[in-house]
Amino acid sequence: METRPFTDTPARPSLFDGLPAIEPSAATGFAGGGLDRRAEMRGPDATAEALADPSARVYVFAADKPLTNGNEPRFGIDSAIAAGARREDMLLLGWKDGAPRLACRLPGNAEPATEPADLRSLAVAGEIDGGILGELALARSLTGWHARHGFCANCGAKTRSAAGGFRRDCDACNTSHFPRTDPVVIMLAIDGDRALLGRSARFAPGMYSCLAGFMEPGETIEEAVRRETLEESGIRLGRVRYHASQPWPFVSSLMIGCLGEAITTEIVPDDNELEDCRWFDRDEVKTMIARTHPDGLGVPVKMAIAYHLITAWIDATA
């Protein structure tokens, strides 16, 4: 491996100068699984070989909810089988510290041995290691994709799992299908010492968050940020800056977090999307983060990328 020689001569400026020591994405919930995915090694026998390894651990799902033993969602192979899992349904996620990690979904008629947990609630509670949450996010997305894509979109024939579960092949028309990730932009519009926050009717009482929406084909991230902000609030944005991303396994999205500079300030909310939308000044947002707002208003919990966008703005303007 080539290494650069030590020198007292200052290095020339780099595009990467000034980046934080810990990248912002790593602080969001469901990030940081740290799996060794070994994509090039997922051959026809990879899953069987992983199942033969006594150190293998399996994430077992009943529909979209994981089974857990207390706060432990990982099962040994025999325990997973005893819980109703089938070897032929196993998907190979990757390896952690040399030990295989797999996932499977119980057959539709199987009765879970324990009460399934809600993955969002597990993340909010913060009682499960972040790396395990990242693996759970991958497991939920991948098992959900297989459950919903058993037939070829090209010819309608039944497909089969391949590449350890990261592909489905159609033998009828020789088409391969790959898991999809849906990109979602989530953004905080900023007007100096004010930030734009909105709330949906489905939010918890008093909670305000960043605006968000799915990207559309043919858009750049910046274009999607500007379009969604304009559609939902009537606010036009100028400059847009990427901040962080977050895997969001409900079912399989990637939240792309950005900060946007407002060039208009009059709010014209989309009543179909938002129950309320308003500008909040920095001091008021601080009370919302601290849960001391006099009207009980708040922001999303720390595991959500919206929280990190909001606190990044607070920290940058402190």
Query: What pLDDT does residue 14 have?
Result: 83
Residue 207 CA to residue 274 CA, distance in Å, equals 12
**Residue owning tokens 């590449």:** 163
Q: Are 284 and 293 in contact (CB under 8 A)?
A: yes
Query: Domain span at residue 130?
Result: 27-148
Q: Which residues of the chain have pLDDT under 70?
A: 1-11, 317-318
Same domain, 143 and 94: yes
CATH number of the domain that residue 138 is part of? 3.90.79
Same domain, 95 and 202: no
Q: Cis check for the bond before 251: say yes or no (omega within 30 of 0).
A: yes
Same domain, 134 and 188: no
DSSP structure string for 5-33: PP-SSPPPP-TTTT--SS-GGGGSTT---
Q: Could you tell me if residue 12 is inside a domain?
A: no
Same domain, 214 and 264: yes
Write out the two tokens for 271: 């009543």
Query: What pLDDT does residue 318 have?
Result: 59
Same domain, 233 and 312: yes
Same domain, 268 and 308: yes
Same domain, 135 and 258: no
Query: What pLDDT does residue 5 have?
Result: 54
Q: Could you tell me if residue 3 is inside a domain?
A: no
Same domain, 186 and 308: yes
Same domain, 107 and 208: no
Give bridge partners of residue 72 from the DSSP assignment. Answer: 69
Residue 180 CA to residue 157 CA, distance in Å, equals 19
Same domain, 154 and 259: no
Write out the two tokens for 154: 């090209």
Query: What pLDDT does residue 1 have?
Result: 46
pTM of the model: 0.90
Count up the domains in the chain and report the number: 3
Same domain, 155 and 144: no
Same domain, 68 and 114: yes
Q: Could you tell me if residue 5 is inside a domain?
A: no
Q: Could you tell me if residue 43 is inside a domain?
A: yes
The 8 Å CB, 24+ separation contacts for 17-23 are 23/244
Residue 51 CA to residue 90 CA, distance in Å, equals 9
CATH number of the domain that residue 272 is part of? 3.90.79.10
